[in-house]
Structure 1
Amino acid sequence: MPGTPETPQAARQVSDAPSPRRLLSTEKVYEGRIWDVVSDSFQLSETGESLTRDYIDHPGAVAVLPMNDAGEVLLIRQYRHPVGMDLWEIPAGLLDVEGEDFVAGAARELAEEADLAAGEWNVLVDFFNSPGSSSEAIRIYLARDLTDVPHQERHERTDEEAEIEFHWIALDDAVAAVLEGRLHNPSAVVGILAAAAAKADGFAGLRPADAPWPAHPSQR
C-alpha cells in the first residue's frame, strides 16, 4: 500500500526558514569601508565534508516606494559606478546606524534622497539581494500620505547623490518598464512588482510598518 500522500502543493505554506549548520571556522578576509568579506568553513551534515564559502557580511538595508494620492510612484535616477549606468531606483540606504529602528532608517532615507516625509507606512516586501554571495537583507516599505520636507531642513546631497533626479510615474507604467527590461535596480524592480500585486486589494493585505523582520541578521 502506498504511504500517506504528500500534502497537495497548493495547500502547502511556502516559507523560507532558518537552517543552522555546524560552523567549523570563520575568518574576516577583507575589511571594507562599508562591508567586510568573511570566509566560513562549515558542514552540511554531521558526517559531511567541510565546505568553505566567502561572502559579503552586510549590515542590511531599507528602501522606500513613495506613492502619492494619484497612485504614482517616485523613481530617482542615480549613477552606479560598478555597472557604469544611470539607474532609476527608489530611495534606499544602509542600516548602518547602530540601534536605529528599521522604519526610522527608512524615513531618514526618504527625507535625505527624496525630500519627503510620509504619514502612512507599510511593509511592502522583504528579500535577500544576493543570497549566494552576501548576507544583505532588504526591507521595502510603501510610503503614503506624503509631504515635502521644508527647504531649511533638507539634507545636502553630495557625490553621486548630488546628481539625483526625480520622476513620478504611474504604477502601471513602472510595471511595464520592469517587464520591458528598462529598469534594473533590484529594490525598484521588486518594490514596483510587489506594489502592483498589493494594489489588487487596495493594499489592505500589507503588513504594518513594525512587522517582525526575522530574516535580518540582527534578529537572528
Structure 2
Amino acid sequence: MPAGRDPADAPLADREGSWEVVGTRDLHRDDWIVALREDVVRRPGHDDTHRRLVVEHPGAVVVLAVDDTDPDAPRVCVLRQYRHAGPGWYVELPAGLRDADGEDPLLTAQRELREEAELAAEHWQPLATLKPSVGISAEVQLIYLARGLSHADRGDFELHGEEAEMDVFWVGLDELLDAALDGRVGTSPLVTAVLAYDALRRRGRL
C-alpha cells in the first residue's frame, strides 16, 4: 500500500503475499496429506525474525444440501459425527478434503454428497469461501449450495472410522439457523453456510 494511504480507503478484500521466509523445517510429515512445519519469517524492513507454525492442508469442500420442495419450510441434510480433536459429536454438513490432485472442487463436492449422504443434486452454486484459521493454516473451504436433490446410491464406497458411525438426518433450515445463532451448533462451515443462505434468501437472490 502506498505510503500515507489510509487503509480504510483500500479495496475491501484480502491480499495475498508473504513475509520473507529465512528458514523452514518439518515438525511432522508422513504419508497423509496434512503436515506441520515451522517457518522463520522476517518482518519487512526489519532484522527481527519470528517463528511461526504452519499446518499444511489441501483444503476442503462443504455442501449445504437444501430440500426446498416447500419453499416456506426448506430442510437441510446434516450429519452428526465424532471428532476426536473436539472432542465430541458435532452437527456438520457433508464435506471432504480436496485430496485428489487436479480434481475440480465441484466434482469433489458432488462425490462427497453422494458418499456421505447418498444424495445427488441437479443445481449447484458456490455459496461461500471460508479461510477458518489463517493464523496457522492456509486451508480454504469452498462451500456449495446444492438443490434439486434426489437419492444416489454410494455404490461400492465403504464408510470407515468416524464416518461409519455418523448419523445422517434432515432439519428445518430455520431450526438450524436458530441453533447456530444460539451457539448449540458451532462448526464454522455449517454456521457460515446457513447464515449465507439466509442472507441470500432475505435479499431475494435464491
Matched residue, 2:182: 180
* Within-5 A mapping of 1:25-36: 25-32=23-30, 33-36=32-35
Does 2:60 align with 1:61?
A: yes
Offset from partner CA, 1:12-66 (integer Å, 9 cap, x none): 6421111332221222221143410011111221324111101201111110000
| Count of matched residue pairs | 198
Are the equivalent residues in 1 in contact too, given 2:78–2:170 (CA < 8 A)? yes
State TM-score, norm by structure 2.
0.87
Return the letter of the residue paired with 2:42. Q
* Within-5 A mapping of 1:68-87: 68-69=67-68, 70=70, 71-87=74-90
Between 1:195-204 and 1:165-174, the stretch displaced more is 195-204
Offset from partner CA, 1:70-122 (integer Å, 9 cap, x none): 32111111111112211110001110111111101111111111101111111
For residue 6 of structure 1, report the CA deviation from its aligned partner.
Answer: 6.1
Matched residue, 1:134: 137
Matched residue, 2:22: 24
Identity %: 34
For residue 185 of structure 1, report the CA deviation from its aligned partner.
Answer: 1.4
State TM-score, norm by structure 1.
0.82
Are the equivalent residues in 2 in contact too, given 1:22–1:46 (CA < 8 A)? no
Go from structure 1 to structure 2 and tell me whether the alpha carbon gap of 1:5 and 1:51 turns closer, same or farther (over 3 Å shift): closer
* Within-5 A mapping of 1:1-220: 13-32=11-30, 33-69=32-68, 70=70, 71-150=74-153, 153=155, 155-204=157-206
Between 1:138-147 and 1:12-21, the stretch displaced more is 12-21
Are the equivalent residues in 2 in contact too, given 1:26–1:41 (CA < 8 A)? yes
Give 3-state SS (helix, strand or coil) of 1:40's partner: strand
Q: Which runs of 5+ in 2 are unaligned?
A: none
Return the letter of the residue paired with 2:111. R
Go from structure 1 to structure 2 and tell me whether the alpha carbon gap of 1:178 and 1:57 turns closer, same or farther (over 3 Å shift): same
Moved over 4 A (4+): 4-7
Between 1:46-55 and 1:131-140, the stretch displaced more is 46-55
Q: Which runs of 5+ in 1 are unaligned?
A: 205-220
Go from structure 1 to structure 2 and tell me whether the alpha carbon gap of 1:22 and 1:146 turns closer, same or farther (over 3 Å shift): same
For residue 5 of structure 1, report the CA deviation from its aligned partner.
Answer: 10
Offset from partner CA, 1:170-214 (integer Å, 9 cap, x none): 22111100111110212111111111111123334xxxxxxxxxx
Return the letter of the residue paired with 1:177. A
Offset from partner CA, 1:115-160 (integer Å, 9 cap, x none): 0111111111111121112221111101111111036x26321221
Give 3-state SS (helix, strand or coil) of 1:67's partner: strand
Go from structure 1 to structure 2 and tell me whether the alpha carbon gap of 1:6 and 1:26 turns closer, same or farther (over 3 Å shift): closer
Go from structure 1 to structure 2 and tell me whether the alpha carbon gap of 1:25 and 1:172 turns closer, same or farther (over 3 Å shift): same
Matched residue, 1:213: none
